[in-house]
Amino acid sequence: SQKIEQNSEALNIQEGKTATLTCNYTNYSPAYLQWYRQDPGRGPVFLLLIRENEKEKRKERLKVTFDTTLKQSLFHITASQPADSATYLCAPGRGYGGSQGNLIFGKGTKLSVKP
Amino acid sequence: DADVTQTPRNRITKTGKRIMLECSQTKGHDRMYWYRQDPGLGLRLIYYSFDVKDINKGEISDGYSVSRQAQAKFSLSLESAIPNQTALYFCATSVAGATDTQYFGPGTRLTVL
């Protein structure tokens, strides 16, 4: 069955450093992958989408890569700030012809940025 | 005003009671979803609807039912609540298309005693 793994449940870094979060998927080939941010007690908020034919996508201090050979996406936050502290969810599409709502969400990585 | 609203935001109920959670959206999206989130388990899909006449079970639909009353409204019902249905429930919407980027409501925290 399709499986999503976000390798770290929690990541602690110092302000100003680059945070790198990992998302691995197995048993399918999604056509795209999305990243969401979730603050405690609130709904996830869409950040970025990357398609299978794109190696890299950037938005301000955020960068996402998508390696279809490794079946992996990396999510980077450069010059991190305490306000970046949140849980980040990876959500690959279910693949060609997929149903069931079309997105599978990973369990998330909780990022804490210390001043 | 919020594009996706959920009512109630918090609810405490007793085992065996019938509960309805409501979701409304002003985004004009065709697709609507209900998820539950539990610590350590992430977001899990309960039901989804791609249009008013379309209802589909997700991965954990047992014990739940839904109603799509209009394009803008999607309700989730627990016919007889049990304690392991205590969770944070989210409604989401998306535009029909290739990527289904989802827009979430603020959530309903449900406690079943």
Question: What's residue A102's pLDDT?
Answer: 72
Task: Tell me whether A108 touches chain B (CB under 8 Å).
Answer: yes
End-to-end CA distance of chain A: 41
Q: What is the mean pLDDT of chain A?
A: 90
Residues with pLDDT less than 70, chain B: 1, 98
Question: What's residue A7's pLDDT?
Answer: 77
Best of B30, B102, B108, B109 to substitute, by most chain A Cβ atoms within 10 angstroms, is B102
Residues in B touching A101 (Cβ below 8 Å):
33, 45, 48, 56, 58, 100
Give the C-alpha separation, B89 to B104, whole Å.
10
Question: A100 pLDDT exceeds 70?
Answer: no
Task: Tell me whether A40 touches chain B (CB under 8 Å).
Answer: no
Minimum-distance CB partner of A44 among B48, B104, B109: B104
Question: What's residue B1's pLDDT?
Answer: 59
Question: A80 pLDDT exceeds 90?
Answer: yes
Tens digits of residue pLDDT in A9-53 = 899 999 999 999 999 998 878 888 999 999 998 999 999 999 988
Question: What's residue A101's pLDDT?
Answer: 57
